[in-house]
């Protein structure tokens, strides 16, 4: 095991030269959510329920292709990867049966990543529990262990699953996430976190279902970590740590009254059952449920709909062969009956709710429960067990603690859990853009402010105008950073998921090549990240097989920065050469001098700056022509942006003004001869056309070569104290940023009349 390439010092990351590291990362890769053999994206129904004899070998990509993908991401300036894997990939064949072939394959992928000098942390990913319940993560056998029947989820609406939808192409956008508040997820997460308290009859192999599920999840991750440890050349050198379970959800824990939709349930889409209605339809009863849609006005009720399972139950029948996976269920836990009925929550003979507040308090003590208490008790109990299991293999592992999304983090500051080798992992999405798949340039909502009770009324949370929207996104991220320091303690914080949908406005960009909305949204998100004072991010997402028809090949999502159907951003150097070529034949355009073209392959620094900055003709003709051909660069102008890499001192500010193509950065410099290094994408900053101003010191623009990948960087040697740098590149019009849709104007008019509603 090599020396750490990254270490935590207080709330910052440091390299072996004691420079501050900024993590600029990406999630890799979207295909890791579903098997390779058979290849089952979420729109493919064939062999969907055959979950044992599968393989994830080849995810996220083949060994032959790994160099291509890692080189591409390194070229785009990413230095960090959140490596997605699922519990299912390790333990799909049955409890305790680990897929050593997949683990060996993954180790080889990580070894290739090491060539490109990435910082990688491992992400045990889940969405709405499992593929069988409409997401990703847990093996199929976990649902059978809990007494559930995945083949009955469709008719009972216990989960909405694209693979079993009548027409997968018409699967409603983002409806998959409502599965968190449907029967399967509510049950599985309640059992996972608190089965001992709320389902004491659920005994399997002599232990409660809570211990059974958590024990297998933790043991599988520990086994994987052990194999990486035994490889001997990955820890510290490429793998820097392990994240806890992705996007944990409380299930029913702390729900005060299961006969109504919880007041803190922010998302309602499609049918929206109360928890008790979900329990009833899960047992074959018909219920009339409200239906909701999500538009420019936020969620709004559209009517009511009868959900009639026609007697079919989401629970396993008594005829199920309960010996298939080698477990033994306690006789008091009866198949063919709702588990919650067996615990006295409701009476199946009368369909009467008996204990509407069953999940509102701890049954043994009567202690009231809410999301805050859940996070500080049930979640933290699991996190400690997971942390200790990983560190029993690798004591020096950095741990990324990911509490429930958008909730107040656990109060760890000054406690025994105030671990100096811990990172706070946070997710944030601009919900209005994500759910409507539309970049609204006119208004947005301070969702974090609403959730934290900042406003007397939600209408005050509306921010009008693109500048206000950008500032609002930044302020929300900054608030989350400050909240982290207040509750979690003095630790680094990373936004391990943030991103935008690319299929905005009914895939308008794919038809026209006009990615201006995506550019604006992506730029606003990065503006927010840069102003948040967080220590870095891993953007969601990189998917190798993304395409215009099926997006990320998972639940209709389309958030990948890369697509097979879009070209990559061209080199700024090539654009400059083409522009120069045209200008030489145009007597009305400034011509490149011979001295300039001779500088083209040299390093640019103070000694040759004057010659390098002679007038050049930069036009939008190339981009305009590409736009006419319906070709766009998938908003790469916005995410392929400059960033600090190593800072010799303390970074106090950095930001990129895309409109003016100007990067600024300030720091308090430390003593030493190591340079501060800044990644400069050559699209925005071709060497011969970049203007650099520094408060003091010397600088040069050159290329770092990492496994044959050339990465343009600026290195700056500066004295101690407060220092500033400004780098000006080539301004190019990314799109018309002034258009406002009719829908947005309608909404603003309604707000002015006081008639608007918010999510």
**Catalytic residue set:** 247, 497
Report the candidate in 560, 579, 682, 563 with the shortest Cα–Cα distance to residue 624. Answer: 579
DSSP string for residues in 249-287? --TTTT-S-TTS--TT-----EEE--HHHHHHHHTT--E
The whole-angstrom distance between residue 650's C-alpha and the CA centroid of its chain comes to: 27
CA dihedral sign of residues 231, 235, 237, 243: positive
Q: How many CB atoms lie within 10 A of CB 750?
A: 14
Q: How many CB atoms lie within 10 A of CB 720?
A: 12
Spatial distance between the Cα atoms of 750 and 356, rounded to a whole number of angstroms: 38
Take residue 443 and report the two structure tokens written for it: 């208004």
Measured distance CA(759)–CA(741) in Å, rounded: 20
Element (H or E) spanning 379, and its range? Answer: none
Rounded (10°) angle between helices 275-282 and 183-198: 100
C-alpha 119/C-alpha 116 separation (Å) is 9
**By C-alpha distance, which of 182, 209, 185 is closest to 198?**
209
Of 601, 399, 638, 295, the C-alpha closest to 499 is 638
Measured CA distances, 79 to 118, 234, 246, 299, 668 (Å): 5, 16, 21, 38, 23
Nearest to 250 by CA among 110, 420, 428, 372: 372
What 8-state DSSP symbol labels residue 579?
Answer: H
Q: How far is CA 639 from the centre of its chain?
A: 15
CB within 8 Å of 9: residues ≥ 6 apart: none
Alpha carbons 64 and 109: distance in angstroms, whole number: 10
First-last CA distance in the chain: 49
* Rounded distance between C-alpha atoms, residue 677 and residue 700, angstroms: 10
Which residues, in sequence order, are CB contacts of 599 under 8 Å at separation 6+?
608, 611, 612, 687, 688
d(C-alpha 427, C-alpha 366), whole Å: 32
């Amino acid at each position: 095991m090599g020396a750490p390439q990254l270490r935590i010092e207080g709330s910052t990351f440091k390299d072996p030269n004691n420079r501050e590291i900024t993590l600029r990362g990406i999630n890799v890769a979207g295909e890791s959510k579903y098997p390779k053999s058979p290849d089952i994206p979420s729109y493919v129904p064939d062999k969907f329920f055959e979950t044992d004899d599968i393989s994830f070998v080849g995810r996220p990509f083949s060994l032959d292709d790994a160099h291509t993908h890692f080189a591409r991401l390194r070229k785009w300036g990413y230095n960090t990867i959140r490596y997605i894997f699922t519990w299912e990939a390790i333990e799909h064949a049955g409890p305790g049966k680990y897929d050593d072939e997949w683990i060996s394959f993954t180790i080889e992928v990580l070894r290739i990543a090491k060539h490109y000098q990435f910082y990688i942390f491992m992400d045990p990913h889940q969405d709405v529990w499992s593929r069988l319940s409409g997401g990703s993560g847990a093996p199929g056998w976990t649902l059978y262990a809990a007494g559930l029947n995945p083949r009955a989820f469709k008719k009972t609406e216990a989960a909405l699953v694209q693979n079993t939808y009548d027409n997968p192409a018409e699967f409603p956008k983002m409806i998959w996430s409502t599965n968190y508040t449907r029967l399967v997820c509510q049950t599985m997460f309640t059992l996972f976190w608190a089965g001992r308290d709320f389902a004491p009859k659920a005994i399997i192999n002599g232990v409660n279902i809570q211990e059974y599920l958590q024990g297998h999840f933790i043991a599988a991750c520990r086994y994987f970590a052990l194999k990486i440890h035994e490889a001997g050349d990955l820890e510290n050198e490429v793998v820097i740590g392990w994240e806890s379970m992705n996007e944990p959800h409380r299930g029913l824990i702390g729900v005060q009254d299961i006969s109504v939709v919880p007041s803190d349930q922010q998302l309602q889409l499609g049918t929206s059952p109360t928890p008790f209605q979900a329990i009833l339809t899960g047992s074959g009863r018909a219920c009339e449920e409200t239906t909701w849609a999500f538009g420019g006005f936020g969620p709004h009720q559209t009517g009511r709909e009868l959900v009639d399972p026609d007697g079919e139950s989401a629970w396993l029948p008594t005829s199920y062969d309960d010996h298939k996976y080698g477990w033994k269920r306690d006789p008091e836990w009866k198949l063919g009956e709702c588990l919650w009925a067996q615990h006295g929550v409701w009476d199946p003979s009368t369909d009467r709710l008996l204990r509407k507040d069953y999940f509102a308090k701890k049954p043994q003590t009567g202690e009231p429960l809410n999301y805050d208490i859940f996070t500080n008790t049930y979640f933290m109990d699991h996190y400690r067990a997971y942390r200790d299991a990983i560190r029993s293999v690798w004591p020096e592992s950095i741990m990324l603690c990911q509490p429930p999304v958008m909730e107040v983090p656990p109060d760890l500051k000054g406690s025994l859990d105030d671990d100096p080798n811990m990172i706070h992992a946070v997710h944030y999405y601009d919900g209005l853009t994500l759910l409507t798949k539309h970049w609204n340039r006119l208004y947005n909502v301070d969702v974090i402010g609403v959730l934290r009770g900042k406003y007397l009324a939600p209408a005050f949370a509306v921010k009008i105008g693109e500048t206000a929207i950008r500032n609002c996104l930044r302020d929300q991220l900054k608030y989350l950073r400050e909240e982290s320091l207040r509750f979690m303690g003095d630790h680094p914080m990373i936004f391990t998921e943030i991103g935008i949908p690319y299929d905005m406005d009914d895939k308008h960009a794919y038809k026209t090549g006009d990615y201006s909305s995506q550019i604006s949204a992506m730029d606003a998100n990065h503006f927010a990240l840069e102003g948040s004072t967080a220590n870095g991010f891993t953007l969601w997402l990189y998917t190798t097989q993304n395409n215009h028809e099926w997006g990320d090949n998972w639940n209709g999502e389309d958030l990948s920065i890369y697509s097979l159907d879009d070209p990559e951003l061209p080199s700024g150097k090539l654009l400059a050469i083409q522009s120069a070529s045209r200008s030489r034949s145009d007597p009305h355009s400034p011509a490149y001098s011979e001295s300039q073209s001779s500088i083209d392959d040299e390093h640019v620094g103070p000694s040759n700056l004057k010659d390098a900055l002679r007038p050049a003709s930069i036009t939008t003709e190339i981009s305009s022509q590409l736009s006419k051909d319906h070709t766009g660069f998938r908003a790469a102008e916005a995410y392929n942006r400059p960033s600090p890499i190593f800072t010799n001192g303390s970074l106090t500010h950095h930001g990129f003004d895309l409109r003016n193509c100007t990067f600024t950065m300030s720091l308090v410099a430390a003593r030493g001869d190591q340079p501060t290094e800044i990644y400069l994408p050559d699209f925005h900053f071709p060497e011969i056309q970049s203007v650099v101003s520094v408060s003091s010191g010397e600088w040069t623009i050159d290329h770092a070569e990492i496994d044959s990948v050339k990465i343009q960087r600026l290195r700056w040697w500066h004295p101690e104290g407060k220092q500033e740098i400004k780098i000006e590149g080539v301004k190019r019009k990314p799109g018309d940023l002034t258009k406002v849709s009719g829908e947005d104007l309608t909404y603003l008019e309604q707000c002015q009349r006081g008639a608007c509603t918010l999510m």
